[in-house]
Structures are given as structure tokens and as C-alpha cells.
Structure 1
Amino acid sequence: MEPVEINLGVYYLRALRADDRVDDRRAVLEGFADPDTRQWVPGYRIDTLSDAGAYIVRRAREWIRDERCSWAVADPFTGELLGEVGLKDLDLTAGTAEAACWTHPAGRGRGAASRALAAALRFGFGALGLERVLYKHFESNKASARVAEKCGFAPTGVIEQALLGDGTEEGLVVRAATSA
């Protein structure tokens, strides 16, 4: 599917971009260089503008392949990238996905993640016909737990241990939201 834009007034959700009008590469690089992002989102290493460009290209490809809907959370006036939200591991036949989000240091503490993720969920349940969306976060990630709670995700349990960015292990809390 083609990327969908969502205007929330206070935030604008759009595709990540690296073109002659909007270039999110530097903000993506800054976001993933941040120690908190590295700790809580350990699966990504973005160390150069080229890595950030490849990340943006991958997100565009995932939209087209119906694998993931991913939005840049942007300031509606400046276009500044404040983070990213998405629905990954899309299974449109089964009606399931997993929520994902990260916030640029400049976007933290402003409600960007919870407002943007709530909009992504409305899109997923309404436009895509999803029935269940999971949200996973490390047990000690209180900010992520607050985002999940604000978006209506109910805890379902703790699954296997996973590696944090510092190499230590911690349990992942699983939460679920349903269309009902």
C-alpha cells in the first residue's frame, strides 16, 4: 500500500523522507545515537547518514510490501522529526500487528509518542481492519509503559528475556489492544 498521511493538528504523521524538500536522515541519526534509544531499541545500529538513508528506504519498502506502516512524527509547522510510530509485522489476513515507536530526544515529554501511536491504532483498526495489536517493552522502560497505557494496551504477561542495548537481559512486557 502507499503511505498514508495523518494530520493530528499538533503533530503531523507522514512517511520518513530523504529528498530535496525534507531530509530526515540527520534526525534519524541523532535519534539512534541517543543513549536512551540505543538502550530501549537495541536492534538498530544507525551510525552514519548512509545508514539513516538505508533505514528510510527500508521503511518505504515495508509500506509497499504491506509489512509495516511507519510514520514520521513531525512538527506540523517546521517539519522537524520528533520520532517514529508504526504497525509492524502486519498480517492483514489474520488482522494482527505489533506497535512500534521511538522518540527523538527533542520530541520527548510532549505526548508525541502516545498521540501518534493512538492515531496509528485508529488507522490500523479502522482502515486496515486489524483486530489485535501487540505492544512489547522492556520491564524497566517506564516511558514506554506509559505510552502503552495511554493508548489502551492491556498487559498480557512477560515473555522471554531480551537483550537491552547495554547487553544485559530483561523481560519483555507484552500488552494487547483489540478493535472491540
Structure 2
Amino acid sequence: MDVHAWPPYRLRITTPRLELRLPDLTWLDELAAVAAAGVHDAARTPFTVPWTDGTPPERARATFQHVLGTVANWRPEEWTLSLAVRCDGRVVGRQDVSATDFAVTREAETGSWLGLAHQGRGIGTEMRAAALHLAFAGLGARAVTSSAMTDNPASLRVSEKLGYAPDGVCTVAVRGAVRTLQRLRLDRASWEAHRTVPVEVHGLDACREFFG
């Protein structure tokens, strides 16, 4: 899709198996269907906001609206790049990179989810590696943060493999219960030391101003 008014739609990140980009309506509809089919066991939630509690159609609509909202609310001072992830010709999940006052802090945050049918294949690590390459190599980040519930070992393993270090914990309320969130931090030196996935970024120069 060639959208002249919004150059981030032309940004693409590729790895040996994956393509990540801001989804057009076709990709976004596929992404909504992945969310509807489920991204975790319904008995628990790995997210601070329990957006997956609804019915499949509600999850699909929430995903569709949320991604469009990230475009509508984008400002160089506060942005979320919500990328659809495609593998083997199918949309399989979502990888976000977000920041506030990035021009000053040079610090971004990652977040993601992957459809249940696509988990356990290393895709989560590969798509996070793509996001980190964009942040560090593409945008010149000094650090990238993330977080995961302490009872979400799969997400914590991905962070560990990519070089994140523990950065304290905090207590959050989810579904009316107390949960512990592990904060994580990755600096440039550790990112460099743990890089294993080849990543290419296309179309970034046309939209650098959007990132502050």
C-alpha cells in the first residue's frame, strides 16, 4: 500500500522468516482474526489490560480499532508503531514499538502478542529482534524497555535471549487480582552482544520525522 500522506505505511522490517509493517486494511483484518482465534489460555492473562476477555468478535473489533487508533493519535512526541507480523504468507501476531519524548530520552518500549497457533516456533524472538533493530540501528535508541508477568516464562525467556536485564518489579491489578510485573531493560551494548537475527529495514528515511 502506497500512502503518501502517511509514510510509516511504507516502512517494512524483514528477517529470514518474517515481514513486519503497519497493516493496511487487509492485513489488519487478518490480524483481528488472529486475535479472535486466541493468543493465550483463557484461564489466565499475560497482559496488564485484559483486552482478550471478550468474545472472539469483540476481540477482533478491539484489535482493529486499537491499531487504527495508534495511527490517529500519533504525535512525534508520543507514538506507538503497531506492526503486523507476517510469516509464510500469513499474519501471525503484532509487534509494537512505542515511545514518549524519544527525541530527548532515546528510549523506547516493546510489546507484542502472537496467535496461539503460531507459538513455540521462535517467531516471538525473531519479531522482537526486528523491533530492536529498528529502535537501535534505525532510530538510534540508547535503551529499550519491556515488561512481562513473573508467571509468563515464555515472554521472559525471549527477553533473556535478546539480552534484556531485570529492572525491578511492580504490582498491578488485573481482573481484580494482584499480579507482579517484571520490568526489563536492554541497553545498546547488550543488544549488540546478543544480536543473532539478520534484520533489514526498508522505507525508514521517508518517515524519520514521525519518530521525533
The alpha carbon displacement at 1:154 in A equals 0.8
Task: List structure 1 runs of 4+ shifted beyond 6 angstroms.
Answer: none
Give the match for residue 207 of structure 2: none
Unaligned runs of 5+ in 1: none
Listed as ranges, the matches of 1:155-166 within 5 Å are 155-158=166-169, 160-164=170-174, 166=175
1:18 & 1:38 partners in 2: Cα distance? Answer: 30
By relative contact order (CA 8 Å, sep 6+), the higher-ranking structure is: 2
Q: Which stretch shifts more, 49-58 or 104-113?
A: 49-58
Identify the match of residue 10 of structure 1 among 17, 29, 46: 17
Listed as ranges, the matches of 1:1-150 within 5 Å are 2-3=8-9, 4-19=11-26, 23-31=30-38, 34-35=40-41, 39-45=45-51, 47=54, 48=58, 49-61=60-72, 64-66=74-76, 67-75=79-87, 77-78=88-89, 80-93=90-103, 94-150=105-161
Q: Which stretch shifts more, 135-144 or 44-53?
A: 44-53
* 1:5 and 1:14 in contact (8 A); partners too: yes
Percent sequence identity is 24
Tell me how many residue pairs correspond in the alignment: 174
Quick check: which has more Rg, 1 or 2? 2
1:108–1:114: structure 2 CA closer, same or farther, 3 Å change rule?
Answer: same
Q: Does 1:152 align with 2:163?
A: yes
The alpha carbon displacement at 1:21 in A equals 9.7
- The TM-score, its normalising length taken from structure 1, stands at 0.83
- The TM-score, its normalising length taken from structure 2, stands at 0.72
1:36–1:130: structure 2 CA closer, same or farther, 3 Å change rule?
Answer: farther
* Aligned amino acid, residue 6 of structure 1: I
Unaligned runs of 5+ in 2: 1-6, 190-212
